[in-house]
Amino acid sequence: MQAFSIPSDSMQNTLQRGDRVLVDKLTPWFGSEPERGEVVVFHDPGGWLEDTVTPEPNAVQKFLSFIGLMPSAEEKDLIKRVIAVGGDTVQCKKNGPVTVNGKALDDKSFIFEGNSACDDEPFGPINVPEGRIWVMGDHRQNSLDSRYHQELPGQGTVSTDEVVGRAIVIAWPVNRWATLPVPSTFDQPGLNAAAAVAPAALGVAGALPLVFWRRRRLTSGRTAG
């Protein structure tokens, strides 16, 4: 596990500026790939944070980063929600919902109140390459996410190799404590472009309750932004 701080508003209202989230770094090590609907932390794929100034970390920050109480002192990281994975086709027309493999996502349970799905930056259709993900912020009108980096080599997608892990819980402040489950719209029938096969390595990780937790779905309704 590693703690990350939220410095921007790009994931409101799911995450607020100043929240500390705990990120599961173990299950990716066992071969698990990011899934649709998960909130993930990932390294800058290149060019996303080129204008972001990162202060030089001091010795204490480097130590806390080493033991997992702070994010990497050397990397520039971001946090977004996975909307589509390798093999998916994702798009969003003005005034319309985001669709994945032709299925409309009901995003009312997690995007910022009053935001549209993508009216500020319609896109697609985008065919997400294998081994990559398409990510968007929950505060759609205040998030420089995959939509805004389509001119870069990854065409807005992020390699799964850049993913640090999944944010699973808001740990601080105490009055904001909450888990971060996957919204049920990502579990609707027919959304999968192809049936996914769980990596065999998860049989080992299955001994950990955390791995079981990360597959649960929502039935009721310092990273960079």
Active site (annotated) includes residue 32: no
Could you tell me whether strands 89-92 and 77-85 are parallel, antiparallel, or unpaired per DSSP bridges? unpaired
The DSSP string of 115-139 is --SSTTS-EEEEEPPTTEEEEE-SS
| 166-183 CB burial, b ≥16 within 10 A, e <16 | bbbebbeeeeeeeebbbb
Annotated catalytic residue: which of 32, 65, 80, 143?
A: 80
Secondary structure (H, E, C), 153-196 = CCCCCEEHHHEEEEEEEEEECHHHCEECCEEHHHHCCCCCCCCC
Active site (annotated) includes residue 10: yes
| 75-95 CB burial, b ≥16 within 10 A, e <16 | ebbbbbbbbbbbbbbbbbeee
Annotated catalytic residue: which of 10, 65, 72, 146?
A: 10
Structure tokens at 148: 């805004």
Catalytic residue ranges:
10, 80
